[in-house]
Amino acid sequence: MNKQDVLRYFSKKYGDRYIAYPFSVKSKEDNYFFMAKDNQNKYLVVIGAYGVCKGFEAINLKETKINENGLFLKICYLNHYNLESLRKIFPHLNPSFCGLRASFGTGDRLGIATPAHLQAFQGKDIFPILAQQSVREMARTERNWQKVLDDAIWGCFEEGYEGLFGADADHVKNIKELKEAADCGFTMFTIDPSDFISKDIEELNEQELNQLYNKIPKNKEIENLYLNKKFKVGEQELIFDEKSLRKIILTYSEALNHVVECYEFLKDYKKEKFDLEISVDETPTVTSPLAHLFIVLELQRWGVNFQNIALHFLGDWQKGIEYIGNLKQFAREFCLHAAIAKNIGGYKLSLHTGSDKFSVYPIFSQETDGLCHIKTAGTSWLEEVKVVAMKDPALYREIHRFALENFAKDRASYNLTIDLSRIPDIDTITDDELINLFKQNDSRQLIHITYGSILREKNDKGKYIFKDRIYKILFKYEEDHYRELSNHIRRHLGLLVSI
């Protein structure tokens, strides 16, 4: 049998009951594996020797013998056990190290977006980080590291993808979480030391600053390394004057200790090569070029082998909408950051909250010569809800009303300038007009930030009110889901130059 025979046999046997995904068919020594769906779920189909089929859990416990040559057929769940077996047979399904090349993260909150994401990456020389979720996102979506990674890998399998991809444990704050993500097979770790970054320095007077500064262990030693040192960066020269240096040491030294501790743990614990990102983007203050320089020089001094650094760049970075701020000013300052990264070398600049920041992408990728990383997540969720609005307007209206009710509670953890009064009244617009809500910043942000409440809401009987119906509609209209989503991500990728 070859792949075509296998597909022909399968469709003859099951007709419309199970439909195979033709691109997913993979073979290993006359054993065949592919994905199929019925009208409710997706399955792994294994056609092969009895011994191979034995390694998979089937929905029908008995294998069906399909010919006298000893071939059996099993229809199996998309569960973790089966994926483990599959990954042993096809090592390309394991995530891998990215290193210093252009990369792009596509967070997937529902866990069904990977095939669409992969379609967007087609023909692009950009390394995809297909599994990418933060601890905070997982709490809101009730997912965990394993589920996030497994869903992305099943997506790779469905799409027949054999290329490389990464898995990013995003915004991890402590060693316990790092360990859990490493145990599940993540290959990239984004350490967020924001809990250790001193935040209120601006409000302190000289005396208070000195008191605090004197408490920092080895402050003089660090000071001596940098005080009045000059660094040529592009056309400019950066100097660590006493005032700026003290402020930077005060702000970041404890956070850097935490990063070093996390790195030491990972280095010993994770056996394979891994990508490390340091993220100081979620801080109240913008990261100055001088602070950037200090952070990377200190990380290097401590021997931290990191690949990416996410800074808090100039401007207002809000979820799911364009960049807000003076783009020219951003470009000028970013130029310095990019020059620092090039001068020191060995790492990439990473942009978080990268969803829909189309105006920034050309600057970001050109200044870094394409050597950058970008993270998106919410924009995929928005495309998915847009498809719900297109295909089930009534459900969308319910979600929209619910989001409005929960907005006040959910906005707390976000930086937003949203104005609910600018959102058209849902009762006065037609079904066809619902899609326009996804072109309007306020309604985009409304749906963006309430995703956790929407996905977790249950009725008295403990059943999800929206989540199951969202999955159902996206399953039913899978083609539309994949098309809208991949077009949208492609629009992002198209603005990046790769090296």
Residues identified as active-site? 170, 277
Q: Which stretch binds Zn ion (CB under 5 A): 204-212, 236-244, 265-273, 278-286?
A: 278-286
Query: Minimal distance in Å, beta carbon 350 to Zn ion?
Result: 9
Query: Minimal distance in Å, beta carbon 352 to Zn ion?
Result: 3
Query: Minimal distance in Å, beta carbon 170 to Zn ion?
Result: 7
Residue closest to Zn ion (Cβ): 352
- Rounded-to-integer distance, Cα 295 and Cα 308, Å: 12
How many residues lie near Zn ion (CB under 5 A)? 2
Nearer to Zn ion, 131 or 426 (CB): 131
DSSP helix/strand/coil, 130: strand
Nearer to Zn ion, 170 or 333 (CB): 170
Residue 333 tokens read as 């300052």
Query: Minimal distance in Å, beta carbon 446 to Zn ion?
Result: 21
- Rounded-to-integer distance, Cα 468 and Cα 204, Å: 51
> Residue 37: exposed, middle, or buried by beta-carbon count in 10 A (0-12, 13-18, 19+)?
middle
Q: Which stretch binds Zn ion (CB under 5 A): 196-204, 279-287, 415-423, 445-453?
A: 279-287
Are the C-beta atoms of 277 and 306 separated by less than 8 Å? yes
Residue 108 engages Zn ion in binding (rule: CB under 5 A): no
Report the DSSP beta bridge partners of residue 133.
169
Site for Zn ion, residues 345 to 374, rule: CB under 5 A: 352
Query: Minimal distance in Å, beta carbon 54 to Zn ion?
Result: 44
Q: Which of 312, 309, 274 is nearest to 295 (CA)?
A: 309
Are the C-beta atoms of 166 and 130 separated by less than 8 Å? yes
> Residue 275: exposed, middle, or buried by beta-carbon count in 10 A (0-12, 13-18, 19+)?
buried
Q: Which amino acid is at 359?
A: S
Residue 281 engages Zn ion in binding (rule: CB under 5 A): yes
Site for Zn ion, residues 365 to 424, rule: CB under 5 A: none
Are the C-beta atoms of 352 and 360 separated by less than 8 Å? no
Nearer to Zn ion, 236 or 415 (CB): 415
Site for Zn ion, residues 170 to 189, rule: CB under 5 A: none
Nearer to Zn ion, 82 or 376 (CB): 376
Nearer to Zn ion, 113 or 351 (CB): 351
Query: Minimal distance in Å, beta carbon 286 to Zn ion?
Result: 14
- Rounded-to-integer distance, Cα 387 and Cα 384, Å: 5
Query: Minimal distance in Å, beta carbon 287 to Zn ion?
Result: 12
Nearer to Zn ion, 168 or 484 (CB): 168
Report the DSSP beta bridge partners of residue 34.
45
Nearer to Zn ion, 35 or 178 (CB): 178
Residue 277 engages Zn ion in binding (rule: CB under 5 A): no
What are the CA-CA distances from residue 449 to residues 105, 107, 400, 473 (Å)? Answer: 19, 15, 12, 21
Residue 303 tokens read as 């021997």
- Rounded-to-integer distance, Cα 242 and Cα 262, Å: 29
Distance from the Cα of residue 239 to its chain's centroid: 36
Q: Which stretch binds Zn ion (CB under 5 A): 101-109, 172-180, 277-285, 402-410?
A: 277-285
Query: Minimal distance in Å, beta carbon 79 to Zn ion?
Result: 31
Where b means 16+ CB within 10 Å and e means fewer, 154-192 reads bbbbbbbbeeebbbbbbbbbbbebbebbbebbbbbbbbb
92: number of Cβ within 10 Å: 14
- Any idea what DSSP says for residue 28? E
Residue 357 tokens read as 């920041």
Q: Which stretch binds Zn ion (CB under 5 A): 121-129, 274-282, 454-462, 467-475?
A: 274-282
| Contact string 21-40 vs Zn ion (x = CB under 5 A) | --------------------
Interface residues with Zn ion (CB under 5 A)?
Answer: 281, 352
